[in-house]
Structure 1
Amino acid sequence: MSIPGHSHTAAERFMRYVQIDTQSDPTSPSQPSTEKQKDLSRILVQELQQLGITDAELDEHGYVYATIPATTDKDVPVLCFCSHVDTAPDCSGAGVKPILHRAYDGSDIILPDDTSVVITTTEHPYLKERIGDDIITASGKTLLGADDKAGVAIIMDLAAHLVAHKEIKHGKIRILFTPDEEIGRGVAAVDMKKLDAHYGYTLDGGERGHLEGETFSADAATVTFNGISAHPGYAKGKMVHAIKVAGAFVDMLPKDEWCPEVTEGMQGFVHPVAIQGGLEQATVQFIVRDFDTAKLAEHEARLKGIAENAVGMFPGSSMTFVVKEQYRNMKEVLDTCPQVMDHAAAAYERAGISPQRMSIRGGTDGSRLSFMGLPCPNIFTGEMGIHSKQEYVSVQDMEKAVEILVHLARIWEEKA
């Protein structure tokens, strides 16, 4: 028990929440992309209302908004704690069967519904640090959904604790649960006026102690190649095959640098994520990532040059190159209000944890929220092995995150 006098509910909530299929769909134009995400959101609203949070609501876009009222007369900045309800399209989230492995002993975890799926400390070295913890996994057929239902459960546990302990001094706290984070549309329709918060924290990180205040900056690039159609029986000297142009282009991409397979740390990359087409037209879609926003344009110019070289190999072909902004490195915003990270670091220390300020080789809802006026770093939940059947989470990590949020709310009140 990480908070004296508090019976944690995070694990129990989590094991219920993951059984609800909330997978998002990148091919859907609707908001949210799948209606089934609201199945969990409706439950969350009901549970918040049962706690006594009377303004909890689910809007038509799939967002849950709720308020934990202030318990102080001080003018404290309004905080927002945010997590997403959807799970990744990469792996099935239907029929999740969570398994609680009490007092994990460090041995391989063989998942019963597919014994070929084994979670080992070799592949997951963080598990060595969690020996003795209670570990939750799926059963081998699905992902678990710790990303980010661990965050949802942590915030719900926090709400239960603060509502029950009004002697804890804190300012107004807003709760935001979002859909579609996994497909990059997590805050696309969030009502910032309704949210009405000054600073935020997403609960969507991994290892205990990690405090993430920097993400990639991200663009999407679409390269479309145009060929010339002709009857294949009479195509000599006439046909230009768009698929072959696209194939040549993909083959020209670097294989020993500039791609996710060989980059790490602060290195950026350019990554093809989809290819489709036919004789007359073929399209290759990319994600472009770098911590230095200015370098995105350099990556895109290089990619466009490779595409132009491919077109030059096939006389008569042509191409278009379109770039769309996705999100930006939240550090650019957080650097203007260092107290947001500093208060979080202080909360970690009060919980007996040395904060490790980290960079995310990806993005969070906080990336976009930061540029929408809500500076928003990311706090750990213990979610590991995400987007896979080997996903797992430590119950004690979730409980420690709840403790940190209690300290964080107190610190903002004390500093006001």
Structure 2
Amino acid sequence: MIYFDINKVSDFQVVERFMRYVQIDTESDPHATSFPSTEKQKNLSRLLVTELQQMGITDAHLDEYGYVYATIPANTDREVPVICFCSHVDTSPDCSGKDVKPLVHTNYQGQDMVLPDDPSVIIKYSEHSDLQHQFGNDIITASGTTLLGADDKAGVAEIMDAARLLMSHPEIKHGEIKILFTPDEEIGQGVDHVDLKKLGAQFGYTIDGERAGTIEDETFSADGVRIVIQGISVHPGFAKGKMVSALKLAAEIIADLPKDELSPETTAGKEGFIHPTEISGGADKAEINFIIRDHNAAKLKEYEAILQRIVENVVARYPGSTYAFDVKEQYRNMKEVLDQHPEVMEIGLEAIKRVGLTPERRSIRGGTDGSRLSFMGLPCPNVFAGGHAFHGKMEWVSKQDMEKAVLTILHIASVWEERSGK
């Protein structure tokens, strides 16, 4: 069979889609009790459904939980495994995603980029090493007061444009393809209510990675720890010898954490950490939330034991105080699952190679929806979307890298079909 040269595709719309999507506020809320955590995420999801239907994808729909499901029908007689492409619509609550104003810096030549709405926000060439690969490219940033939303609206736009191209280029042969857009990934709840039976895919790819050419098959394993300190509250005017401030105990616990190891700011590569993310309360009761991370799941218990000893030592210094220590599993290293299905990574790497990039297999100091999807029965590595400096005002992505991500999606679909004939 003679295959269509996918790299000749040039009628991209990914940038136009991306610029449209980032202007819709979809920030998730870690304190909400609803699902999705914010209703505004559905504003983008409803638009995606409409656009998918306009492409001719008739079953595209939004469910009650805020998930978008859609199917691109197969156009081959070969029996091809059903694959899924997945991205999340929400943006991180770490930085505002409201009133995003995307800007295009054309023909980048290595200059520092001063963002106009807050000139103190400068994307410096010397501090963003991946800018060295962007000479001549068109860089998209926010205006200086918000994040951009490339995490993961770049992935959303890339899947959407790939879907359009697959529907309009029947010469690109592929099996049945599923599309899944999730809410609340940024707060660790992205697949809490996904219906994998309805999705009906055998393998998946999240499009949520960073540098062009990378594909990730390994994540942290992750737990959350919630510590509640009970103190003794007394009117401060009569507190001598009586008050035990839970808030001060919480501060001492944080102060007693390791200084030169086991923290995000002192670790790299596959080194894990104990990281306090939030502290709240008062004299009577205080709460600290931690995230515990390592690529080796067995080490999580070691770190949790270290943390619990610190808590016990602090509480022991203050008679009358007590504590509760609650551990919750968040996700596990998807490599455990992906190693059992090597063809998923092999095809991803081959697709990246066919785009003309040098494939780079990486591990993530974090997690994706694919971490949990893999353990739920959908082996799911993470393919680059092209964004950088996530969760902050210096976030950026290039037009050319997004186009390469679209081509990579097309090649993944094509290679699955091609290899199913062997």
1:231, distance to aligned residue in structure 2 (A): 3.7
Look up the match of 2:313. 309
Residue 384 of structure 2 is aligned to residue 376 of structure 1 = no
Q: Amino acid of the residue matched to residue 347 of structure 1?
A: A
Q: 393, 399, 404: which one pairs with 1:395?
A: 399
Query: Aligned partners of 2:99 and 2:237: how far apart in 1?
Result: 51
Query: Aligned partners of 1:208 and 1:6: how far apart in 2?
Result: 18
Look up the match of 2:293. 289
Q: Deviations over 1:118-165 (max 9, x none)?
A: 111111110111111111111111111111000001001101110011
Look up the match of 1:188. 192
Q: 3-state DSSP class of the match of 1:211?
A: strand
Q: Is the 8 A contact 2:6 2:410 kept in 1?
A: no
Q: 247, 253, 256: which one pairs with 1:252?
A: 256
Q: Deviations over 1:167-218 (max 9, x none)?
A: 2111100000111111111111111111110000000011011110000000
Residue 48 of structure 2 is aligned to residue 44 of structure 1 = yes
Query: Aligned partners of 2:122 and 2:29: how far apart in 1?
Result: 28
Residue 323 of structure 2 is aligned to residue 319 of structure 1 = yes
Residue 121 of structure 2 is aligned to residue 117 of structure 1 = yes
* Structure 2 runs not aligned, ≥5 long: none
Alpha-carbon distance change, 117 to 233 in structure 1, aligned in 2, over 3 angstroms: closer
Look up the match of 2:92. 88
Q: Amino acid of the residue matched to residue 311 of structure 1?
A: V
Q: 3-state DSSP class of the match of 1:3?
A: helix
Q: 3-state DSSP class of the match of 2:205?
A: strand
Q: Is the 8 A contact 1:351 1:403 kept in 2?
A: yes
Q: Amino acid of the residue matched to residue 364 of structure 1?
A: T
Q: 38, 54, 71: which one pairs with 1:67?
A: 71
Q: Is the 8 A contact 1:6 1:161 kept in 2?
A: no
Query: Aligned partners of 2:276 and 2:153: how far apart in 1?
Result: 29
Query: Aligned partners of 1:308 and 1:32: how far apart in 2?
Result: 36
**Which aligned pairs between 1:120-159 and structure 2 lie closer than 5 A?**
120-159=124-163
Alpha-carbon distance change, 231 to 389 in structure 1, aligned in 2, over 3 angstroms: closer
What is the TM-score normalised by the length of structure 2? 0.96
Deviates more, 1:46-55 or 1:95-104: 95-104
Deviates more, 1:348-357 or 1:174-183: 348-357
Query: Aligned partners of 2:282 and 2:80: how far apart in 1?
Result: 59
Look up the match of 1:227. 231
Q: Deviations over 1:330-354 (max 9, x none)?
A: 0011011111111101111111111
1:283, distance to aligned residue in structure 2 (A): 1.2
1:233, distance to aligned residue in structure 2 (A): 3.8
Query: Aligned partners of 2:323 and 2:302: how far apart in 1?
Result: 19
Q: Is the 8 A contact 1:2 1:400 kept in 2?
A: no
Residue 352 of structure 2 is aligned to residue 348 of structure 1 = yes
Deviates more, 1:324-333 or 1:273-282: 273-282
1:68, distance to aligned residue in structure 2 (A): 0.6
Look up the match of 2:107. 103
Q: Is the 8 A contact 2:6 2:172 kept in 1?
A: no
Q: Is the 8 A contact 2:7 2:355 kept in 1?
A: no
Look up the match of 2:362. 358
Q: 3-state DSSP class of the match of 1:283?
A: strand
Deviates more, 1:238-247 or 1:285-294: 238-247
Q: 3-state DSSP class of the match of 2:417?
A: helix
Query: Aligned partners of 1:70 and 1:2: how far apart in 2?
Result: 17
Q: Amino acid of the residue matched to residue 139 of structure 1?
A: S
Q: Amino acid of the residue matched to residue 298 of structure 2?
A: A
Q: 3-state DSSP class of the match of 1:273?
A: strand
RMSD of aligned Cα (Å)? 1.3
Query: Aligned partners of 2:9 and 2:400: how far apart in 1?
Result: 16
Query: Aligned partners of 1:27 and 1:246: how far apart in 2?
Result: 20
Look up the match of 1:405. 409
Q: Is the 8 A contact 1:230 1:239 kept in 2?
A: yes
Q: Amino acid of the residue matched to residue 241 of structure 2?
A: G
* Aligned residue pair count: 416
Alpha-carbon distance change, 20 to 231 in structure 1, aligned in 2, over 3 angstroms: closer
Look up the match of 1:29. 33
Q: Deviations over 1:81-109 (max 9, x none)?
A: 00011111111111111111111111111
Query: Aligned partners of 2:335 and 2:395: how far apart in 1?
Result: 28
Q: Amino acid of the residue matched to residue 135 of structure 2?
A: I
Q: Amino acid of the residue matched to residue 310 of structure 2?
A: I
Query: Aligned partners of 2:37 and 2:288: how far apart in 1?
Result: 23
Q: Is the 8 A contact 1:141 1:389 kept in 2?
A: yes
Q: 3-state DSSP class of the match of 1:34?
A: coil
Q: Is the 8 A contact 1:366 1:376 kept in 2?
A: yes
Q: Is the 8 A contact 1:143 1:389 kept in 2?
A: yes
Look up the match of 1:168. 172
**Which aligned pairs between 1:207-226 and structure 2 lie closer than 5 A?**
207-226=211-230
Q: Amino acid of the residue matched to residue 186 of structure 1?
A: G
Identity %: 62
* Structure 1 runs not aligned, ≥5 long: none
Query: Aligned partners of 1:229 and 1:55: how far apart in 2?
Result: 58
Q: Deviations over 1:221-269 (max 9, x none)?
A: 0111112233434434333221222222111111111111111111000
What is the TM-score normalised by the length of structure 1? 0.98
Q: Is the 8 A contact 1:2 1:399 kept in 2?
A: no
